[in-house]
Structure 1
Amino acid sequence: MAEKNTERRHLINVIKFEGEDDALVWKHPVEDFNLGSQLIVHESQEALFFRDGQALDLFGPGRYLLETDRLPMLGKIYELPAGGQSPFHSEVYFISLATQMGIKWGTDTKVRLFDPASGLHVELGASGEFSIRVTDSRQLLLRVVGTASSLGQEDLLGGGKGFFRAMVMTQVKSYLAQAIKDNGINVLEIDERLLELSAALRERINGSLGEYGLTMPEFYVSRVVTPDDDPNFRRMKEQYAEQYLTVRQEEIRCKEAEAAAERRAVEAYTDARMKILGAQGEAEALKIQKAAEAEAYRMQAEAEAQEMRMKGYSYQQETARQVGMEAMKNGIAGEGSGGLGEIAGLGVTLGAMGGVMNLTKEALNPVLNCAENAGRTVSAAISDSWDCTCGQKAVTSNFCPNCGAKRPLPAAAGTWDCTCGEKGISSNFCPNCGAKRPAPSAAETWSCSCGQREISGNFCPNCGKKRGES
Structure 2
Amino acid sequence: MGLLNFLKGEFIEVVHWEDDSQDTMVYKFPLTSKQQIKEGAQLVVRPSQVAIFVYEGQIADVFEPGKYTLHTDTMPIFTSLSNWKNLFENHFKTDVYFINTKQFTNQKWGTINPIMMRDADFGMLRLRGFGVYAFRVKEAVQFLKEIFGSNKFFTVDQINEYLKSLIVSSITDVIAEAKIPAMDLATQYDEIGSLAMARINDRFDVYGLTITDFAIENLSLPESVEQAIDKRTQMGALGNLNQYMKFQTAEAIRDAAQNPGGGMAGMGAGMGAGMGIGKMMTDMMTDDQQASAPSNQGNTQPSGIACPTCHTTVPEGSKFCSNCGYSFMAKCIQCGKELPSGSKFCTECGASQVTEKHCTNCGEVVEAGAKFCPHCGNKTE
Q: Is the 8 A contact 1:34 1:84 kept in 2?
A: no
1:62 and 2:57 correspond: no
| Deviation readout 1:317-375 (Å, 9 max, x if unpaired) | xxxxxxxxxxxxxxxxxxxxxxxxxxxxxxxxxxxxxxxxxxxxxxxxxxxxxxxxxxx
Q: Is the 8 A contact 1:9 1:30 kept in 2?
A: no
Q: How many angstroms does 1:40 deviate by? A: 0.2
Q: How many angstroms does 1:148 deviate by? A: 1.6
Q: Is the 8 A contact 1:56 1:73 kept in 2?
A: yes
| Deviation readout 1:145-176 (Å, 9 max, x if unpaired) | 1112233322232xxxx332322222223333
One-letter amino acid of the structure 1 residue matched with residue 230 of structure 2: K
Aligned pairs for 1:435-450 (under 5 A) are none
| Deviation readout 1:32-61 (Å, 9 max, x if unpaired) | 312221100112221111111211101111
User: Which position in structure 1 is the counterpart of 2:201?
Assistant: 206
1:23 and 2:50 correspond: no
User: Which position in structure 1 is the counterpart of 2:150?
Assistant: 147
One-letter amino acid of the structure 2 residue matched with residue 12 of structure 1: I
Q: Is the 8 A contact 1:33 1:86 kept in 2?
A: yes
Report the Cα distance in structure 2 between the residues aligned to 1:80 and 1:10, rounded to whole angstroms.
21
Q: How many angstroms does 1:143 deviate by? A: 0.7
User: Which position in structure 1 is the counterpart of 2:218?
Assistant: 223
User: Which position in structure 2 is the counterpart of 1:50?
Assistant: 54
RMSD after superposition? 3.7
User: Which position in structure 2 is the counterpart of 1:242?
Assistant: 235
Report the Cα distance in structure 2 between the residues aligned to 1:58 and 1:35, rounded to whole angstroms.
18
Q: Is the 8 A contact 2:79 2:87 kept in 1?
A: no
Aligned pairs for 1:425-444 (under 5 A) are none
Distance 1:244 1:207, change over 3 A: farther
Q: How many angstroms does 1:209 deviate by? A: 0.7
Aligned pairs for 1:244-393 (under 5 A) are 245-246=238-239
User: Which position in structure 2 is the counterpart of 1:11?
Assistant: 11
Report the Cα distance in structure 1 between the residues aligned to 2:135 and 2:148, rounded to whole angstroms.
16
User: Which position in structure 2 is the counterpart of 1:92?
Assistant: 96
Q: How many angstroms does 1:134 deviate by? A: 1.7
Q: Is the 8 A contact 2:72 2:88 kept in 1?
A: no
One-letter amino acid of the structure 2 residue matched with residue 237 of structure 1: D
Question: Per chain length, whose mean CA-contact separation is higher, i.e. which structure has more relative contact order (CA < 8 Å, sep 6+)?
Answer: 2
Q: Is the 8 A contact 1:26 1:95 kept in 2?
A: yes
1:171 and 2:170 correspond: yes
Q: How many angstroms does 1:199 deviate by? A: 0.3
User: Which position in structure 2 is the counterpart of 1:127?
Assistant: 130
| Deviation readout 1:110-141 (Å, 9 max, x if unpaired) | 2232322x233332211111111222110011
Q: Is the 8 A contact 1:120 1:232 kept in 2?
A: no
One-letter amino acid of the structure 2 residue matched with residue 57 of structure 1: D
Q: How many aligned positions are there?
A: 246
Distance 1:201 1:73, change over 3 A: same
Q: How many angstroms does 1:236 deviate by? A: 4.0
Q: How many angstroms does 1:23 deviate by? A: 2.3
Q: Identity of paired residues, percent?
A: 22
One-letter amino acid of the structure 2 residue matched with residue 131 of structure 1: A
Report the Cα distance in structure 2 between the residues aligned to 1:108 and 1:191, rounded to whole angstroms.
20
Q: Which has the higher strand share?
A: 2
Q: How many angstroms does 1:233 deviate by? A: 4.0
Distance 1:64 1:239, change over 3 A: same
1:101 and 2:96 correspond: no
SS at 2:91 equivalent: coil
One-letter amino acid of the structure 2 residue matched with residue 206 of structure 1: N
TM (normalized to structure 2)?
Answer: 0.56
Q: How many angstroms does 1:238 deviate by? A: 1.9
Q: Is the 8 A contact 2:71 2:88 kept in 1?
A: no
Report the Cα distance in structure 2 between the residues aligned to 1:150 and 1:79, rounded to whole angstroms.
30
1:75 and 2:88 correspond: no
One-letter amino acid of the structure 1 residue matched with residue 25 of structure 2: L
Please, which runs of 5 or more residues in structure 1 have no aligned partner?
250-388, 390-402, 409-419, 421-470
Distance 1:129 1:142, change over 3 A: same
Please, which runs of 5 or more residues in structure 2 have no aligned partner?
243-330, 341-381
Q: Is the 8 A contact 1:126 1:225 kept in 2?
A: yes
Report the Cα distance in structure 1 between the residues aligned to 2:211 and 2:116, rounded to whole angstroms.
26
Distance 1:80 1:87, change over 3 A: farther
Report the Cα distance in structure 2 between the residues aligned to 1:211 and 1:245, rounded to whole angstroms.
54
| Deviation readout 1:217-260 (Å, 9 max, x if unpaired) | 211111123332xx3442343234424544999xxxxxxxxxxx
Report the Cα distance in structure 2 between the residues aligned to 1:122 and 1:83, rounded to whole angstroms.
67
Q: Is the 8 A contact 2:39 2:88 kept in 1?
A: no
Q: Is the 8 A contact 1:36 1:84 kept in 2?
A: no
Report the Cα distance in structure 1 between the residues aligned to 2:166 and 2:41, rounded to whole angstroms.
42
User: Which position in structure 2 is the counterpart of 1:38?
Assistant: 42
TM (normalized to structure 1)?
Answer: 0.46
One-letter amino acid of the structure 2 residue matched with residue 207 of structure 1: D
Report the Cα distance in structure 1 between the residues aligned to 2:8 and 2:31, rounded to whole angstroms.
9
Report the Cα distance in structure 2 between the residues aligned to 1:247 and 1:204, rounded to whole angstroms.
46
Q: Rg: which structure is higher?
A: 1
Report the Cα distance in structure 1 between the residues aligned to 2:7 and 2:182, rounded to whole angstroms.
66
Distance 1:242 1:45, change over 3 A: same
